[in-house]
C-alpha cells in the first residue's frame, strides 16, 4: 500500500499516457489552479474547486490512469 | 509565384570609404552604416566589427544572425512585417542576397521581463565549439548595440533588431544594381502527377505564453509572433524572409531559417523526386490540452486539403510544445499522410524517454542529437584572443562540466567558457555523428 498521488495538469492527456494514476484537469499551463480573468473571490473559488477535486481523487481507488475533470463537474 | 534568387558570394569583408561589392569583396563604409543606425533615438550605443572565419574571436551576446537580402524586382520588401516593415505578400520577382555573410545582432537586451527565457548564445569563429555551427564559416559583420536603458523590454527588442536590419539593408543595397554571379529560379511549376505530394510542417515557437505578451520578439511570421492557427506559406515567401527574427537558440535565428537545408532540399527536388506543396507553419506553446489538440487537428486537415501524401515535420523549441507537434504527426498519420520527424532528443538520464510523448504514430524519426550541451558532453570553449561585445558573461544555469562546474557567476567572456546550455539542431545543419 503506497501513498496515493493526484497530479493536477493542464496537459492532462500527457500525464495519463505517461502513467499517472489520478490526473486532475488543471486550467492552463500559466495558471494551473486559477483563472486571472475572474474576480479574486471567484478565482479563489475556482482554484479551491480544482484542489478539492484533487483531494477527493486521492480518496478513491482507480484501476489505472484516470482523469478527474473539475471543469466537467462545474457545467 | 516565381522568384529569381540572385546570389552574391562574399569571400572577403573590409571597412572602407564606401559600401560596395566587387567580385566577392565587400567593402563597408562603417561611419555611414553606423550613422543610419544612430538615427533612431532609441539607440544609445552602436559599434560595428568584423569577425572572420577561423579567427580566434568570440561574439557575445548573440540575439540574431541575418543574411542581407534585398527585393530588386516585384512587390514588397525582404523580411516583411518585423519591426514595422511593410507586410505586402512577398515571393515574386527578383531578390538579391549576400551569401556567406551574417549581420550579427550583438546586444544584452533580453527577450522579455517575465522570466524563464534568457539570451545565452555566443558564437566562436574557430575551435571545437565554432565547428558545431554554420556561423563560424561566415564573415560576420557584428553590430554591438545597446538601446536607451530607460525603455521597456519590448521597445528595446524592437530597437536593436531594427538596428541590425538597418545594417543588413545597407549591405544588401550594395548589390541591388549588380548582375548576380549565380541565379536560381524558384517556382512550384506543374510536375508529373504520379510524384508523391509532400508538405513541410514547420513548427515555430511563440513567446506569447511565456512572456504574457502577444507582441514579444521571436521568429516572426510577417512580424507576428502571437499564438495563431496554422499558416500556409508559399516557399517563395520563406525565401523572401516571411519567417524571420531573433531567437533564443542558435539554430533557429534569421540566417538558419533563411538557409534551412531541409526546406531548400524539399524545394529543389520539386518535380524530380516529389511534388512539393509548400509550407504549413504552426505556432507552438499553446497552453491547454484542447488548444494543442485543435492545432494538431487543423494542421493535419490543412495538409489533407492540400492533397499531401507525406509530411516532413520540424520544430524549434522544447518542453510542452512537443505535444502539439507530435499530435500533428499523429493526426496526419490517421488521415493517411506519412510523416517524417526531424528532432533533437531530450535528456534520457534515469530512463526518461528521449521524447516527451512517444506516440506510436511517430515511427519515422531523424535524430539531430541531444538538445542539451551537457548531455552531448560538449567540452568547454577554449580561451580566445578577442571578444566582440560584452567582456563578461553570467553563467545562468551553472555548469555541469569542466573548470566552471557548479559555477553561477560572472566570467570573463574571453574564456575558457562552458558552452551555451542548448544545442538543438532544428533543421539538420550539423555534421555530428555518433557511435554506440
Statement: residue A43 has pLDDT above 70: yes
Residue B403, pLDDT score: 67
Contact B225, B243 (CB under 8 A): no
- When scoring A7, A8, A14, A19 by the number of chain B Cβ atoms within 10 A, the one with the most, hence best to mutate, is A14
Whether residue A75 has pLDDT greater than 50:
no
Integer angstrom CA distances of residue B117 from B114, B121, B389: 8, 12, 20
Segment A59-71, tens digit of pLDDT = 999 999 999 999 8
Express each pLDDT in A20-31 by its tens digit. Answer: 999 999 999 999
On whether the CB atoms of residues A32 and A74 are closer than 8 A, the answer is no
Which residues of chain B are modeled with pLDDT < 70? 397-401, 403, 407, 436
Give dist(CA B118, CA B109) in Å, integer.
9
Please give the residue range of the domain that contains residue A36.
Answer: 6-74
Please enumerate in sequence order all residues whose Cβ is within 8 A of that of B360, keeping only pairs 6 or more positions apart, or say none.
Answer: none
User: Using the beta-carbon criterion (under 8 Å), do B289 and A30 form an inter-chain contact?
Assistant: no
How many whole angstroms separate alpha carbon B51 and alpha carbon B140?
5
Of B209, B212, B289, the CB nearest to A13: B289
Q: Which residues of chain B make contact with A15, given a CB cutoff of 8 A?
A: none
CB within 8 Å of A22: residues ≥ 6 apart: A4, A5, A6, A7, A54, A57, A58, A62, A66, A68
Evaluate whether residue A51 is within a structural domain: yes
Q: How far apart are CA B332 and CA B328, in angstroms?
A: 6
pLDDT of the residue at B146: 98
CB contact under 8 A, B292 and A10: no
Which residues of chain B neighbour A14 with C-beta distances below 8 Å? 289, 320, 323, 356-357
Measured between alpha carbons, how far is residue B431 from residues A37, B311, B427 in Å?
Answer: 48, 24, 12
Sign of torsion, CA B264 B342 B247 B111?
A: positive
**A chain contacts of residue B320, beta-carbon cutoff 8 Å:** 11, 14, 29
Q: Are the Cβ atoms of B288 and A27 closer than 8 angstroms?
A: yes
Q: For CA atoms B142, B147, B149, B153, give the dihedral sign.
A: negative
* C-alpha distance from B150 to closest chain A C-alpha (Å): 28
Structural domains of chain A, count: 1
Give dist(CA B50, CA B146) in Å, integer: 18
Which residue in chain A has the smallest CA separation from B360? A17
Q: What is the ipTM of this complex?
A: 0.83
Q: How far is B192 from chain A (nearest CA, A)?
A: 42
pLDDT for res A19: 85
- pTM (predicted TM-score): 0.94
Residue A1 belongs to some domain of the structure: no
Looking at the DSSP assignment, which residues form a beta bridge with residue B12?
Answer: B25
CB B424 within 8 A of CB B251: yes
Query: How many Cβ pairs closer than 8 A exist between chain A and B?
Result: 31
* pLDDT of amino acid A53: 97
**What CA–CA distances, in Å, run from B346 to B290, B336, B401?**
24, 28, 18
What grid cell was written down for A1?
Answer: 500500500
| Interface touch B289/A10, C-beta < 8 Å | yes
Cβ pair B289:A12 closer than 8 A: yes
Q: β-strands B25-28, B123-124: how paired?
A: unpaired
A14, B209: Cβ pair inside 8 Å?
no
The pairing of beta strand B197-205 with beta strand B275-284: parallel
Which cell is B115 given?
522570466
Q: How many residues does chain A have?
A: 75
Instruction: Name which of B212, B288, B357 is nearest A10 (Cβ-Cβ).
Output: B288
pLDDT digits 0-9 by tens, B130-174: 888 999 999 999 999 999 999 999 999 999 999 999 999 999 999
* Chain mean position to CA B222: 15
Q: Which three cell numbers stand for residue B142?
A: 557584428
Q: Which residues of A touch B (CB under 8 A)?
A: 10-14, 17-18, 25, 27-30
DSSP per position, B170-213 = HHHHTTTTSPPSEEEEEE-----TTSPEEEEEEEEE--HHHHS-
Contact (CB<8Å) B289/A18 = no
Looking at chain A, the whole-number percentage of residues with pLDDT higher than 90 is 80
Domain ranges of chain B: 2-375
Amino acid at each position: 500500500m503506497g501513498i496515493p498521488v493526484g497530479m493536477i495538469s493542464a496537459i492532462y492527456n500527457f500525464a495519463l499516457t505517461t502513467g499517472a494514476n489520478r490526473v486532475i484537469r488543471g486550467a492552463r499551463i500559466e495558471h494551473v489552479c486559477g483563472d486571472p480573468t475572474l474576480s479574486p473571490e471567484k478565482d479563489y473559488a475556482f482554484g479551491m474547486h480544482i484542489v478539492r477535486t484533487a483531494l477527493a481523487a486521492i480518496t478513491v481507488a482507480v484501476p489505472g490512469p484516470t482523469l478527474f475533470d473539475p471543469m466537467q463537474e462545474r457545467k | 509565384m516565381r522568384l529569381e534568387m540572385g546570389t552574391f558570394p562574399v569571400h572577403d569583408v573590409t571597412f572602407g570609404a564606401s559600401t560596395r561589392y566587387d567580385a566577392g569583396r565587400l567593402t563597408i563604409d562603417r561611419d555611414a552604416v553606423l550613422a543610419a543606425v544612430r538615427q533612431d533615438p532609441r539607440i544609445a550605443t552602436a559599434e560595428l566589427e568584423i569577425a572572420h572565419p577561423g579567427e580566434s574571436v568570440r561574439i557575445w551576446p548573440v540575439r540574431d544572425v541575418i543574411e542581407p537580402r534585398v527585393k530588386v524586382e516585384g512587390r514588397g520588401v525582404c523580411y516583411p512585417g518585423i519591426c514595422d516593415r511593410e507586410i505586402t505578400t512577398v515571393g515574386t520577382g527578383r531578390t538579391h542576397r549576400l551569401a556567406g555573410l551574417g549581420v550579427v545582432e550583438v546586444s544584452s537586451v533580453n527577450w522579455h521581463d517575465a522570466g524563464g527565457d534568457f539570451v545565452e548564445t555566443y558564437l566562436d569563429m574557430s575551435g571545437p565549439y565554432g565547428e558545431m555551427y554554420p556561423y563560424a564559416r561566415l564573415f560576420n559583420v557584428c553590430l554591438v548595440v545597446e538601446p536607451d536603458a530607460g525603455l521597456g523590454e519590448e521597445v528595446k527588442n524592437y530597437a536593436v533588431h531594427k538596428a541590425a536590419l538597418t545594417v543588413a539593408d545597407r549591405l544588401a543595397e550594395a548589390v541591388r544594381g549588380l548582375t548576380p554571379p549565380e541565379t536560381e529560379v524558384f517556382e512550384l511549376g506543374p510536375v508529373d502527377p504520379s510524384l508523391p505530394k509532400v508538405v513541410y510542417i514547420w513548427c515555430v515557437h511563440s513567446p506569447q505564453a511565456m512572456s504574457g505578451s502577444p507582441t514579444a520578439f521571436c521568429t516572426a511570421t510577417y512580424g507576428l509572433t502571437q499564438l495563431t492557427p496554422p499558416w500556409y506559406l508559399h516557399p517563395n515567401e520563406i525565401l523572401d524572409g516571411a519567417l524571420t527574427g531573433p531567437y533564443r537558440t542558435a539554430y533557429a535565428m534569421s540566417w538558419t531559417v533563411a538557409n534551412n537545408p531541409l526546406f531548400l532540399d524539399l524545394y529543389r527536388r520539386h518535380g524530380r523526386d516529389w511534388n512539393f506543396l509548400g509550407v504549413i507553419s504552426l505556432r507552438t506553446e499553446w497552453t491547454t490540452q484542447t488548444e494543442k489538440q485543435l492545432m494538431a487537428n487543423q494542421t493535419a486537415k490543412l495538409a489533407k486539403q492540400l492533397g499531401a501524401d507525406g509530411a516532413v515535420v520540424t520544430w524549434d523549441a522544447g518542453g510542452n510544445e512537443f505535444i502539439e507537434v507530435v499530435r500533428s504527426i499523429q493526426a496526419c498519420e490517421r488521415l493517411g499522410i506519412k510523416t517524417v520527424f526531424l528532432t533533437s532528443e531530450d535528456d534520457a538520464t534515469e530512463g526518461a524517454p528521449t521524447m516527451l510523448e512517444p506516440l506510436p504514430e511517430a515511427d519515422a524519426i531523424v535524430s539531430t542529437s541531444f538538445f542539451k550541451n551537457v548531455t552531448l558532453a560538449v567540452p568547454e570553449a577554449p580561451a580566445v584572443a578577442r571578444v566582440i561585445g560584452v567582456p563578461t558573461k553570467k553563467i545562468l544555469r551553472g555548469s555541469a562540466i569542466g573548470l566552471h562546474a557548479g559555477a553561477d557567476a560572472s566570467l570573463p567572456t574571453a574564456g575558457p567558457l562552458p558552452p551555451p546550455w542548448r544545442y538543438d539542431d532544428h533543421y539538420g545543419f550539423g555534421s555530428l555523428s555518433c557511435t554506440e
